[in-house]
Structures are given as C-alpha cells and as structure tokens.
Amino acid sequence: MLAEAGLTVHRGETVAVTGSSGSGKSTLLHCLAGILMPDEGQVLLDGERIDDLSEERRTALRRNRFGFVFQFGQLLPELAAVENVALPLLLAGVSRREAVARAAQWFDPLGLAGLEQRRPGQLSGGQEQRVAIARALVARPAVVFADEPTGALDSVTGGQTVALLTGLARRTGAGLVVTHDAEVAAACDRTIAIRDGRTAAAGLTGAAP
Amino acid sequence: MIALSLRLLRAGGRNAWSAAGLVATGVAVATALLAFALGALHGLDAREQRVGWRTPAAAPPGTAPVAQLLVRTDHVTDRAIQQIDVVDPRPDAAGPPGLPRMPLPGELWVSPALAELLRTVPADALAARYPVDVPTGVIGDAGLLGPDELVAVVGRPAGDPVLTAPERSEVVASARSEVVAVAGFDRPGEGLGLAEIYRQLTYVALALLVFPVASLLGASARLSAARRTERLATLRLFGASRRQVTVAAVTEVTVVAAAAAVLGIATEWLLAPAIAQISLAGSTWFVADVRPAPVTALAAFACVALLAAGSAVGGLRRVVITPLGVVRRDRPQGARLVRLLGLAAGVAVFVIMSQSIQIAPSDIVGLVFGIGVLALFGAISLIGPLVVRLLGGVLTRRARSAPALLAGRRLLDDPRGPSGRWPG
C-alpha cells in the first residue's frame, strides 16, 4: 500500500529507493514502470502522464522506453544469453539477425565476451545479472528500473554489478534502483527512503513533488 | 513472434520435451483412432462402390434391362462363395465392375482367391458346380470386396434350369423375386446390409472420438501451463502485447498438436496392412481401402490443429497473464445463464435425435445418433464445472483433514480442470 509517495528522477541521474521489507518500495517501482496502476496520483514521463494510459500503451512503453533488472534476472532458460539480451528488440519487431547483432555488442563492455551462446543455467549469478543488465539497456531505454539487482549476489559481485548498472543507466537515460542494501544505495546519485508507503527525501538531493 | 515461440519450444529442455512428448503421444493416439474410423468409412464406401451392383435394384419401368441377376451364397470348406448368375446378358452392354466385358452364357469369371481354390480343391468338390472346368477369366480388384473374397460370376442363357432350382446355395440379394432384371451395373445397390450397419456404427464411433481428442488437446494446454505462464509473464514484463502472448501460446500448443496429428495419421497409414487383415463381411480389405483419402486425412489434420489452437485461445481467454506473473481470472467462475441454456439445448438435441432415429432414413441413422451423442457430451462439458464447483464446496465445508481441505479448495479454484476430462 502506498500513500503520499512521490519522487522525481532527472535524466542522467540514478536514484535509490530504500526501505525495509514490505515498506512498499517494489510497489512504487511497479507503479512508476506502468506494471501496476495507482488508485490515485500521477506518474509522469517527460511531462506526460502515463498512469492513465491504456494497458496496450503501457505495454509499448515498457517495451520501448523502460528497461528492467530483477533480483533473479528473470532470464528465459530456453534462450541463449545473447537471445535473452535481444528479447526486448525482438518483441519490438526488430529482425532476429539485427537484434542478436545489437545484443552481442553489450557482451564485451559487460565482461561477458565469449558467453553469448551460454544458457542461463550455464552462467554464474553475477554473469546472469550482467546479462539481465544488458537486456535492460539494449533498447537504450529512457529509464532503467532495478528491483534488488544485487539481492542474489555476493558483496564483491554485487558491488561490481551495481556500479555497472548505475554507470550505464546514467549514460542511456536514468535509473531507479530499489534496494535495502546501503552499499547499493550509496552507488546511486541520491536516495529516497520509503516507510509504510510514504516517501521521505534523503541523500544528496532528495526531492518529492 | 511465431519464430520466437518456436525457438522457446525447441529449446525447452528435458522437462518441456517430456511434457510435450506425453501430450503428443496422447494426441497422436487419438488422431490415429480418428484416422482408423475415417479409414473404415473410406473402406466401406470403396467396397460399396465396387460391389454395390451385387445387391441389385430392379430396372425402372420402361428401361431395357442389360441382364437378369441371381445373387446367392454357396459354400466350400466352410468358406462362403458369392455366386452371381448373369442371365440372358446383352452382349453389347458394359459388364459388371472388375470384368472387361459382359459375361456371356457359358462363361465363368472368378476372383483370384476362388481361382486358387479351383486349382487346389478336387474338381468334384468345387469345379463341378460350374458350367465350365476352366474359368474364362479372373475378376479384377474393381469388382471385389477384398483380396481373399470368393466370387463367381456365371453367364447363363435365358431360361437356364439351374436358376429355378438352386442347389447348395441360398438366394441372398433379392427380396421381390429370385431373379432381378437390371438396367446396368453402375447403380448403387439397395437394402441395409451388414456393411451399412458398420458404416452407421462408424459414424457413432467418430462422434465418440471427438471429445477424447478435444480433451487431450485441453490437457496439452494445461500440462505445461505453469512453466508457460511464467515464460509468458516474463515476455509481458518486457513489453510483449497480449496479442503477442496469445500468438506464443497458440503456436506452442498448435505446433505440438499438429506434429502429433501428422504422427497419428502416419501411424494409421503404416498400420493399414495389418488392419486390412481384419475380415469383415467375408473378406479382408485392400490396403488402400482402409487408408483415409488424402483430402480426408488433411481435413482430420486441420481439425486437430484448429481444436488445439481453439483450446489455447480458450485457455488464455479465461485468464490474464500480468507482467508480474500473476494469473488472475478475467471473470468470476459463477454459474452463468449461458451454461444452463447450453445444457438445456444439448439435452434437447439429444432427445430429439434419439426420437429421430425411429424415423430417420437407414443410411443416416448413425449420423443422427452421433449428433445426439455429441450434443449430450457437449451438455456434460458445460455443466461439468458447475457440478465440480458444487462438490468442491461440499468437500471444503466438510473437510476434516488438510488433504481434503486442499482438494476441496483446488476444485473450487479450478472447476474446469477436472470437469474438462469427463467427456474424454
């Protein structure tokens, strides 16, 4: 349940949303990403409301302007790593050849070179998360949403992963990271704390409209 | 999206392949049974085309007959021989199917199996019955029930004394008179013979097979549903539209069903030589007879594929897969009026069809009964979820153990699942 929850994320910025389990941080992310519809309030993207869009248009928004990274990657085990990365492009109607070619370009920068044809089951946890990050970024989204992206990783791998994620998210657009991990939050530009469904500014430039 | 769905299906791994294999086996068996029934119908039709002239219809008044026929059954070594005496034939008229020309008085045409018997059985036990020792020729396949049928076509002059006092044999074909004047051999026969009864039974069997096939296809949609739902939810999360998700689900189910349908039809085709050895009405079958015609096989394949696609669409219509992987029901599972109306309509059709059997023409009795059976099964499938829901409610209220409570809750939650298997 959310109440009086609000935040603004600027282009080129990454924001961490922190809070205890059940505080509503994931629900906030789902509302901002068009996965859930808030009962009240507004969600704006580049000044335009997206919370009142049809289900079809919100789907298109997720496909074309948003990227997602989740705790357990949510890679499709049936597809090779490079095909998983290409998935958003394939869903957008890009030809398989082009989608895979564009997806493959992300493997070297993310330290995944040579793992393109591996299935998710053949990757380590850290590698899986980096594939998920590549998938989130491959369509050059305006916003990358990450929900506990390091929750299943050890601290070293987690630190590397979040550094990669925030760095790339800043370059392609903006990033919103939901986490209960202070180290992950510290890697973001600012932090918004959420408690009992209410947001409170924290960190460097906390802002809640 | 179709290409991606096929890729996901192909790369599904061991569990997915096991599930698909089980489903495919079931659908293949059901399709093979369907193909057997269709093959039987094809065989019965083919037989009637070839030997219908042996149950002759009298030439219409004012039509010049080409011959008079006496059809009777003879026996040798416990085997039946069908003997057709062609009396007073018109030499310039076309002969019966399987013969190159009209048999003339004094000629004997025999089937290959009878020709073989004539060579092996002592002459006084068989050959002495016929006007000549050596047959004039052999009847071709176009005039036979099957490869081992014993048939003799004997040409006789008008007034041949044998016709008036048949010995060792019984007249089988003519109810009005022993000798029937016919206007030709290309007319269908008349009367409800054993083959016709089998044909009617085959119609009923076909109707009975429709629901098991549909039930197996429904099972195919449910068997791998959990994994598929998870996968479709992931696709939804990353921006797949409802249409794309529907295409993915339909592709997955239909491809497996279509492949299984091909396998089922191929199985029937391969087993046809063995099926052809089953003797019916005094003869085994030509192999080509018991294989459904290509158009029929194609239609059976298309029906199974369409049923599979319909089953997948129906399954998705009832639920909405959200990006978070939550499968929620689109509509409450209450007793909808349309179900009750459907039930009433199904029962009404069954009753009407049951009554119609008494007055229906003999050649569509099986079809009428088959439609009635289909309507009844349709009614059962409509009322099934309501009954299961009722039972689930009773079980939940009276449950005294955890398993009973779980079972009751599951029945309440998904009454369509168990009830969908009843008709099958």
Q: Where are the domains of chain B?
A: 1-55+195-331, 56-182, 332-424
Q: Contact B7/A78, CB-based, under 8 Å?
A: yes
pLDDT in tens, A9-50: 888 899 999 888 888 888 888 888 888 888 888 888 888 888
Quick check: B234 contacting A, CB < 8 Å?
Answer: yes
Query: Over 70: is that where the pLDDT of B420 sits?
Result: no
**DSSP codes of every residue in B93-145:** S---TTSSSPPPTT-EEE-HHHHHHHHHS-GGGTGGGSS-SS-SEE--GGG-S
pLDDT value at position B332? 44
Instruction: Mean pLDDT check: name the lowest of A31-40, A130-139, B31-40, B163-172.
Output: B163-172
Angle between helices B294-318 and B13-51 in degrees, nearest 10: 140
- CATH value at residue A153: 3.40.50.300
Helix (H) or strand (E) holding B403, with range, is helix B402-413
Average pLDDT over residues B145-163: 87
* % of chain B residues with pLDDT over 70: 83
For the record, the structure tokens of B218 come out as 């429904």
pLDDT in tens, A157-193: 778 888 888 888 888 889 999 988 888 888 899 888 8
Residue A32 lies in a domain: yes
pLDDT value at position B313? 75
Quick check: B224 contacting A, CB < 8 Å?
Answer: no
Coil, strand or helix at B74: strand
Q: Highest-confidence range of A185-194, B53-62, B241-250, by mean pLDDT? A: A185-194
CB B80, CB B72: distance < 8 Å: no
Q: Contact B239/A63, CB-based, under 8 Å?
A: yes
Whether the complex's predicted ipTM is more than 0.85 is answered with: no
**Angstroms from A136 CA to nearest CA on chain B:** 9
Q: Residues of A with CB below 8 A from B1's CB?
A: 91
For the record, the structure tokens of B9 come out as 């299906």
Q: Residues of A with CB below 8 A from B11's CB?
A: 78-79, 119
Distance CA A68, CA A142 (A): 11
First to last CA, chain A: 19
Average pLDDT over residues B390-412: 84
Residue A90: give the domain boundaries: 14-202
Query: Over 90: is that where the pLDDT of B368 sits?
Result: no
Residue A4 lies in a domain: no
**Angstroms from B13 CA to nearest CA on chain A:** 7
Distance CA A51, CA A32 (A): 8
Vertex A186: Cα angle to A180 and A191 (nearest 5) = 70
Q: Domain count for chain A, please give it.
A: 1
Residue A128 lies in a domain: yes
Q: Contact A30/B4, CB-based, under 8 Å?
A: no
Query: Over 50: is that where the pLDDT of A204 sits?
Result: no
* % of chain A residues with pLDDT over 70: 95
In Å, how far from its chain's centre is CA B88?
41
User: For residue B194, what pLDDT band results from cuts at 50, 70 and 90?
Assistant: low
Query: Over 70: is that where the pLDDT of B168 sits?
Result: no
User: For residue B297, what pLDDT band results from cuts at 50, 70 and 90?
Assistant: very high
Quick check: B240 contacting A, CB < 8 Å?
Answer: yes
Please name the member of B4, B234, B322 whose beta carbon is closest to the beta carbon of A74. Answer: B234
Quick check: A37 contacting B, CB < 8 Å?
Answer: no
Distance CA B110, CA B119 (A): 12
Average pLDDT over residues B307-332: 62
Residue A3 lies in a domain: no
* % of chain B residues with pLDDT over 90: 20
Instruction: Mean pLDDT check: name the lowest of A15-29, B28-42, B402-416.
Output: B402-416
**DSSP codes of every residue in A100-132:** HHHHHTTTTTTT-TT-TT--GGGS-HHHHHHHH
pLDDT value at position A208? 34
Beta bridge partner(s), residue B87:
B68, B156
User: For residue B330, what pLDDT band results from cuts at 50, 70 and 90?
Assistant: very low
Quick check: A93 contacting B, CB < 8 Å?
Answer: no
pLDDT value at position A102? 94
Closest of A170, A174, A167, A132 to residue A152, by C-alpha: A132
Query: Over 70: is that where the pLDDT of B195 sits?
Result: no
User: For residue B424, what pLDDT band results from cuts at 50, 70 and 90?
Assistant: very low
Q: Which residues contact B109 (CB under 8 A, 6 or more apart)?
A: B99, B103, B135, B136, B137, B138, B139, B152, B153, B154
- List phi, psi (to 5°) of B160: -55, 125
Please name the member of A61, A76, A88 whose beta carbon is closest to the beta carbon of B8. Answer: A76
Query: Over 60: is that where the pLDDT of A207 sits?
Result: no
- List phi, psi (to 5°) of A199: -90, 150
**Angstroms from B287 CA to nearest CA on chain A:** 44
Q: Which residues contact A1 (CB under 8 A, 6 or more apart)?
A: A24, A27, A197
